[in-house]
Structure 1
C-alpha cells in the first residue's frame, strides 16, 4: 500500500514538474525573442560601433508611428470589433483609468517619502502613474502569440492586438488633457503672482488666441533626447510647438493677489456706499457677470490641445471601430472575398514590421545612455520600484477582484493578460515628448525613461512568468 502511494505521488510530482517546465518554456521563449530584437537595435545604434546612424532610427520611429502601428491596429481591431464585443470589452478602458489612478496614489506616496526637489513633485506623480499601453504591450502580445502552440488559443494574436488597440484611445485622451497640464513648467517668476485679475484674464485670452501660432524653438536643452526619445512617440513635435507651450498657464491663472485684495476690501468697506446699495450692487454683479472660477476653467479647457489626440494610431482605432460595427462596411473591407481585400492585405503586410521596428527603436534609445538628471537617485529608485514592482502586484489584486465580480470575459485568458500588462509596463515614452513640448523636466524624463526600460527588461520578464502560472 505504501509502495503504491509512493508511486502515485512520484507520478503526480513528475506530471507537475513537466507542466511547470512547459509553462516556463512557453513564457521564457517569447521573452527571449522580444529581448533579442531590442539587443540588436542597441548594438546597431551604439555610439562605439555606429553601424546605423541615429537619423535612421528617427525615420524608423516615424514609420512606426505613421504607418506600421496604424496598419496593425486597423487590420486587427476592425475584424474583431462588434457591438457585442464593444459591450464585453468595457473593462479594458476602465482598467486604464483605474491603473492610472492607482499609479497617481503611488506617485504621491513616492513624492512624499522620497522628497524630490519641489519643481519635480508633479513630475514624480506623473511618471509613476502613466504607463505604456501601446507599442510595448503589442510587442509582447505578438511575441507570445507567434507560436501556433501558444497556450492562449488559435485567436491569440488577433484578440491580443485588438484588446491592446482598444485601450489606447483612453491613454491618449488622458495624456493630451491631464498630463499636458500637469507637465506645465513651475511658476518661477513670483511677480506673476501679483498681477491684477483683469490683466490675467486678458493674458489668458491672448494665450488662447495665440495657441495655434507655431514658432521656432530656440531651446537646445532637450536636443540630447529628441531624435529617438521624442520622435519615437510624437513625430513632427517641433511643428506643434507654440509660443506659450512653455508658459505656466494654470499656475498664473489661479495664483493671483485677487483673493487678498478682496479680503482687504471686505475688511475695510467703502464708507460712501450704504449697506443697502452695497448689497444691491454685489447682487447685481453676481447675477450679470460670469463667475471668475467658471471663466478660468473655460480658459483652461480652451488651452487643452484636444486636436493633438487625432494622431494616426488614434484615427486608425476610430476607423476600425466604426467600420467593424457596421456589418455592410465590415464585409466590404475585412471579408476574405471583400472588394477591398487587396487593401487590407497590403496593410497587413506593412503591419508585420511594427514589432521589430519598435524593438529596434527601443534598443537604439537605450544605446544613447542616460542623460544627467536633477531628480535625485532616491526619487528615481522610488519611481522605478513603485511603477515596475509594486503596481503590478496591486494589478494582480485588482484583476482577481474584477474576475470574482464577473467583470471580465469568462475563460478568455488573453483578455486577462492584456489587463495585467497595463499595470506592468514602464512609463510611457510619450511623457518624454510632452516634457519636451512643455519645457519641463526634459533631461529628467529622458534619464528616468532610460533607467525604467533597463529595469523593465528584468521586471517584465519576472511578471510574464508569474502571469503564465496564473493564467495557463
Structure 2
C-alpha cells in the first residue's frame, strides 16, 4: 500500500502535464482551430513577457528571506551542479548522435534544465501528507515543503532563463539582432596583425626587435579588442529574458526587509500588487503546457528529431542525472554543507536531478520560432517515461534517506 500511495503521489503531477498537453493538441486540430499557429504565438508571447515573470517574481518574493537564503544556500549550488552535469552529458550526447545545428541547443536545454518548479510544488507537499512518510510529522513537513519547492522553482527559473535561454539563443538564432551569423573573431597572430589600427590603416607585421624576437600585440590588448568586438555584437536587453529580470526583482523584494513589509503579507499596505502578480503567475504553467500540446500536433506530423536523440535525453534525465544527484547530496552531507537531520530538504535536492525537462524549454523554442515540433515530441516521451521513473527514484531516495 505504501508503494501504491507513493506511486500515485509521484505520477499525478506528471499525468496532469500529459493531460493538459492532450488538451492543447486537441484545440489545435484543424477542425477546432482554437490554438493554431498565430494564436499559439500570441499566447507564447504572453507567457514569455507577462505570466512567467509574474510567477517567478512572486515565488521568490514570498518564500525567500535573507534568513532562509542563508539557511538554504546549498540549493542554488545544487541546481547549478544539476545544470552543469546535464550540460556535460548533453555535450557527449551531441558528439555521439550528431543532431542538426538547431537541435543541439534543444538537446542542451532538455538535458540541463529540469522541471524543478511545478512538479516539486505538487509532489513534495503530497509526500509529506503520506502516513508512512519518512519525513516526520506531516504538519511540520508540510510547513517546510512549499518554501523548499518555491525556492527550487525560483532559482531554477533564474538558471533556465539566463543560461539555457542564452545557450539556445546562440544555437537556434545566431546573430538574432541583425539576422546574420556573428562575425568570426580573429584568433591567429596574422589575423590580429591585419586588423585596422587607430589611424584606419592595416597593421603590418611588426619587425624583429633588438632582442631578435618578433614583437606581438600584448595579451591585454588582445583581450580588450575581443571584448570590444563582442560588446558591439551583444545587446544585453535581448540576452536577458524578462523572467530572469523578474527573478532578480523578486529576490530583492524578498531579502530587503523594508520592501518586503510593503508588499508581502496580509498586513502589507501594497499587498494587492503581490496578489495580482500571483494570480497572473498561476496561469503560466497551464498556458505553457497547452502551447506544448499545440506544437506536439505539428511534431506528430513529422519532425527532425531522431529516436537516438530522444532515447539519449531520456537516459540522461532518467538514469545518469539521478545517480549523479545522489552522489552530490551524499558528498554535501559528508562535507557538512547540508544539515543531516533535514531529510525533506535532502529529498528535494535529490529530486531536482530526477525530474523531466523543464516546460520553459518549449516556451523558448516557440519564441524563437524554430524547433517547436521537435521539442514537443521530446517532451511527450520524456514525461511518459517520467511517470514511472520519477516514482521509482522517489522511492529509492526515501530508502537512502532512511537507511
Give the TM bin, normalised by the shorter chain. 0.7 to 0.9
Structure 2 partner of 1:466: 392
Q: What SS does structure 2 have at the residue aligned with 1:339?
A: coil
Distance (whole Å) between structure 1 residues aligned to residue 125 and residue 46 of structure 2: 22
State TM-score, norm by structure 2.
Answer: 0.76
- TM-fit CA distance, 1:165: 0.6
Matched, 1:413 2:402: no
Q: CA RMSD in A?
A: 3.8
Q: How does 1:10-21 map to 2 (within 5 A)?
A: 18-21=1-4
Structure 1 partner of 2:120: 141
Structure 1 partner of 2:94: 111
- TM-fit CA distance, 1:110: 2.3
CA contact (8 A) 1:127 1:383 kept: no
Q: Deviations over 1:39-75 (max 9, x none)?
A: 2222112335434444333333333333333333233
Q: What SS does structure 2 have at the residue aligned with 1:253?
A: coil
Q: How does 1:173-184 map to 2 (within 5 A)?
A: 173-175=162-164, 177=166, 180-181=169-170
Distance (whole Å) between structure 1 residues aligned to residue 107 and residue 9 of structure 2: 35
State TM-score, norm by structure 1.
Answer: 0.66
Structure 2 partner of 1:208: none
Query: Using a 3 Å threshold, how does the CA distance of structure 1 residues 417 and 367 change in structure 2: closer, same or farther?
Result: farther
Matched, 1:242 2:168: no
- Which of the residues 326, 333, 338 maps onto 1:396? 326
Q: How does 1:173-212 map to 2 (within 5 A)?
A: 173-175=162-164, 177=166, 180-181=169-170
- TM-fit CA distance, 1:336: 0.8
Structure 1 partner of 2:21: 38
Structure number with bigger Rg: 1
Matched, 1:25 2:1: no
Query: Using a 3 Å threshold, how does the CA distance of structure 1 residues 36 and 311 change in structure 2: closer, same or farther?
Result: same
CA contact (8 A) 2:58 2:274 kept: yes
Q: Deviations over 1:123-151 (max 9, x none)?
A: 5873564324xxx4333234336869466
Q: How does 1:343-354 map to 2 (within 5 A)?
A: 343-354=273-284
Matched, 1:131 2:113: yes
Distance (whole Å) between structure 2 residues aligned to residue 319 and residue 346 of structure 1: 16
Q: What SS does structure 1 have at the residue aligned with 2:185?
A: helix
CA contact (8 A) 1:107 1:124 kept: no
Q: How does 1:274-293 map to 2 (within 5 A)?
A: 277=210, 279=212, 282=214, 286=217, 291-293=221-223
Matched pairs, number: 374
- TM-fit CA distance, 1:274: 9.3
CA contact (8 A) 1:168 1:314 kept: yes
Structure 2 partner of 1:68: 51
> Could you list the runs of 5+ residues in structure 2 that have no partner in the other structure?
134-140, 195-205
Structure 1 partner of 2:245: 315
Distance (whole Å) between structure 1 residues aligned to residue 259 and residue 108 of structure 2: 40
Distance (whole Å) between structure 1 residues aligned to residue 54 and residue 208 of structure 2: 70
Distance (whole Å) between structure 1 residues aligned to residue 106 and residue 14 of structure 2: 29
Q: What SS does structure 1 have at the residue aligned with 2:299?
A: coil
- TM-fit CA distance, 1:153: 1.0
Structure 1 partner of 2:201: none
- TM-fit CA distance, 1:163: 2.4
Query: Using a 3 Å threshold, how does the CA distance of structure 1 residues 96 and 146 change in structure 2: closer, same or farther?
Result: closer
Structure 2 partner of 1:299: 229
- TM-fit CA distance, 1:378: 3.5
Matched, 1:166 2:155: yes
Query: Using a 3 Å threshold, how does the CA distance of structure 1 residues 320 and 453 change in structure 2: closer, same or farther?
Result: same
- TM-fit CA distance, 1:182: 5.7
Distance (whole Å) between structure 2 residues aligned to residue 331 and residue 91 of structure 1: 26
Distance (whole Å) between structure 2 residues aligned to residue 40 and residue 434 of structure 1: 21
